[in-house]
Structure 1
C-alpha cells in the first residue's frame, strides 16, 4: 500500500480536511494510507514526527497556495525535501493548487520550477475557482486514484512475470521418464525447499539493508541499524533523534518453523521460539512460493509470494511499525 503525506499550511486546514474526506474511498480500497500533522497526539514533538513521516512516505501531496509558498517551513522543510526525494527516485510528488497564486516560477531545486510538473485539479485550475470544492477535489483525487491503480497493476504484472521465472518460483526439473511424458510434474525436493527458503531470506536481508540506507539518507534526524546476526537471521532498527521507533528481527529455520520466513518485533536477540508473522513455503502450480494465507499483518497479500514479494511484505510491516510510533 502506498503511504501518502499531506503537506499544507494551517491557513488551508479547512480545505485539507475536505481533501482527506475525498481520499477516504482510496484508503478503504487499500490504495493509500494517508498521514498529516493533524494526526499527531498531544505531547508529541511536532518537527521530528513530521520529518520522519515525510521521509517514510511514498507519495507527497502538496496543497499549494500563496500562504504555502510564503511559509518557510512548508517550502523549505517539506516541499524542497519532497522534490529532492522525487529526484532520487524514492518518492513521488503531486501538487494540488488550492488558491490562485503566482506558482509557475517557484523553484523546486536542481534548476526546476513548479511549472515543469503536472498540476491538479485538471489544468492546474485552483480548487476555489471551480463551481464547488467537492467537484475540484473529486477531479484531483480521481487522477491520484488512476495513478495508484496503474501502479498496482504494473506491480502485479511484474510479480506475475517473476513467478513464472524458474529462478524466482522454483519449478523442479522433471525426470526423463514415463510420468513426465504424461505431464505429471515432479514434486519439489527438500533440497529445492532449502534453497528457495535461503533465497527468500537473502533477498529480504538485502532489501532491508538497502531500504534502511535510503531511510537514513532521507533526513538527518533519522538513523538506522542493520545487524547480520548469523547466516539465518538479521535485525533492523530505525531511530528518530536517537530514540528507537522501529525494531524487527527476521530469520528462517529452527525446530518450530523449519520451512518458513519468520518475523518478530521482539529484541534483536530473538530466541526464535515465538514470532509475530510468518510466510511458510507452499507448493503452487508454478513451483515453490511463500504462502500468505495465514499472514498476520492487517494488510494481506493477494496470493503466494516470490522472494521479492516476501521481502517487500516484511519491509512494509516494518515501516508500518515505524509510522505508528511517530504519529
Structure 2
C-alpha cells in the first residue's frame, strides 16, 4: 500500500530514487538499489545505468533532475567527494526545509556529516545484519507517520504505578514465570539440565561479545577490539581507543566453588590463578 501510494504520487516519467555514492561504496549502493527495486521502487544508479560512451557529467545531472528523491550513501569517502556534494545539493535546493524528503541520507560507514547534511535525519545501517538493514532501509524511506500498527501499552497501572512493559525495561524483580530468558521448569533442575543451561548460556554470552565488539569497531574508526580464546570455554575481550587499552574482561566456564558457574573478571591485568577471581 505504501509503495502504491508513493508511485501514484510521482510523475510516470520520473525515477523514485537517484542513488548518489562514492566509488568506494559501490557494493553498498548496488545493494541499496536492488533492495529498493525489489520492493517496487525505481532507481537510477551509475553502476547500472551509465553505459560506456555516455557523458558522465550530463548523465549524472539528468538522472538527479529526473529523480523524485536523492538517496545519499554516506561514508567518509562520500563526505570528501566534490562530485557527491553537487549531486545532493540540487535536490536539497528543491526542498531546503526537508518537508518533502527530497534528500535521504543512508549511513553505511561511520562518519560525521557537517553543515547542511548534519541537520537531515538519516537512516543508519552501520553494524546491522542484512535482514535488519533491509527492514530499516525500507522503513526509513516511508513518507508517512511512523505510527505503530498496534496500540502501545498503557504507561500506568490502575494503582498509579508505572507499567513494567515498554516504555522502560522489565524490573529486575519481575515474576520469573513471565521472563522469557528464565524458563520456569516447575521443579528442581537435574544436574544434566543445569550443565546444559550453563554451557548454552556461556555460548550465548560469547556470541554477544563477539558480535558486539565487531559492531563497535565498525561504528568508530578510532576503536580497535580484540578477543582471545584461551580454550573452548575461556576468553579475554579488550577494547582500545586510539590505540590505548580502555577496558578488558575475562570470562570463563567454571569457578572457585563450582564448575557449573560462569566466572567474570574485569580489569586489564588478570590474576594468575582462577581462585582469586569472582564468579557470577
Calculate the TM-score normalised by the size of structure 1: 0.37
- The structure with the largest alpha-carbon Rg is 2
The structure carrying a bigger helix percent of its residues is 1
Q: Tell which has more relative contact order, 1 or 2 (C-alpha 8 A, sep 6+).
A: 1
